[in-house]
Structure 1
Amino acid sequence: MNIAFFLTPKVEVAYLTPESTMRQALEKMEYHRYTAIPIINDDGRYVGTITEGDLLWKLKNTPDLNFKNTSKILLREISRKMDNKPVYIDSNIEDLISLSINQNFVPVVDDQKVFIGIITRSDIIDYCYKFLFNKKN
């Protein structure tokens, strides 16, 4: 099955840019109740994922950094421990299963590597559950 069926399109995805601030990331994560958010550059390409852990490590390892001055730290200045590996839009659902073990979402890109959306781990698990147990819904 083609993954386009499961795609949450970019217009419905909360994302940030490398020029977004640490404070914007924290506020967006809190608002959407996310633990990780994709980072998209000005060309629309997926460049990585920022996680709560990345933000906490930056806060811990930066002397004098507190919530009030997180608006001075750009995401491009924050080390990321991992990036969610993207897949191409013409991938199959089976390609996503191994990625979803360690990723809350799988970024989806087109053949020019332009970000077009995500597929959530919960959508992948739901598909697998229905497939394995032949449930309808």
Structure 2
Amino acid sequence: MISAAIQRVIEDKSGSFLIPASKIAFVEEDNPLYHAFLILTKVKYAKIPVLNQEGQITGLLSLAMITDKMLELDGISTKPLNHYKVKDVMQTDFVSVNFTEKDLETQLHLLVDHNFLPVVDDRGVFQGMITRREWFKAFNYLAHTFDDRYVTIDKKQPLRLQAGGK
């Protein structure tokens, strides 16, 4: 369990954890794989979300998934990319969190194994991402501001009170 004092400081910063969907590159599941290849070569993300026409996240796509389809016996070719759609190669088993879920501990545990967490609303519509990078920024904030807000007591050392203002 996260310390209550530490959680309060992190919650001050937690509003900035979410990178809104409007700032994130994505592809649609029915896009040609060639289109996705062009998108992924221009953005600096390892994986991007795949959305359906209703804006719901249905998968994740990486450049490695695409290049796997480009490999031929005698080299690499982009020609096969015209015969596939994104939904043919995307990762469909992924973790996401609900937009209303504010459980920082759950987010932190999930980010140990995932670089980012897609955030969805109750209908599965993609709202944005929480990234490990944003959490590191919050921890950096915590590490540099904790003493400005809190006084800590070492519970292993006896508390010494001075009587009479001495």
Q: TM-score, normalised by structure 2?
A: 0.68
User: Is the 2:69–2:80 contact (alpha carbons within 8 Å) kept by the matching residues of 1?
Assistant: no
Residue number in structure 2 paired with 1:16? 27
Q: CA deviation at 1:62?
A: 9.3
Deviations 1:2-48 (A, max 9, x none): 95432111111111111112222221111112210001111111111
Structure 2 CA distance for aligned equivalents of residues 10 and 98 of structure 1: 22
For the aligned residue pairs, the C-alpha RMSD in angstroms reads: 2.7
Identity level (%) = 22
Counterpart residue number, 1:91: 101
Q: Which residue of 2 aligns with 1:120?
A: 131
Indicate conservation of the 8 Å contact 2:70/2:79, yes or no.
Answer: no
Instruction: Report the AA paired with residue 55 of structure 2.
Output: G
TM-score, normalised to structure 1, is 0.80
Structure with more contact order per residue of length (Cα contacts < 8 Å, sep ≥ 6): 1
Gaps of 5+ in 1: none
- SS of the aligned residue for 1:108 comes to strand
Query: Which runs of no fewer than 5 residues in structure 2 stay unpaired?
Result: 1-10, 147-166
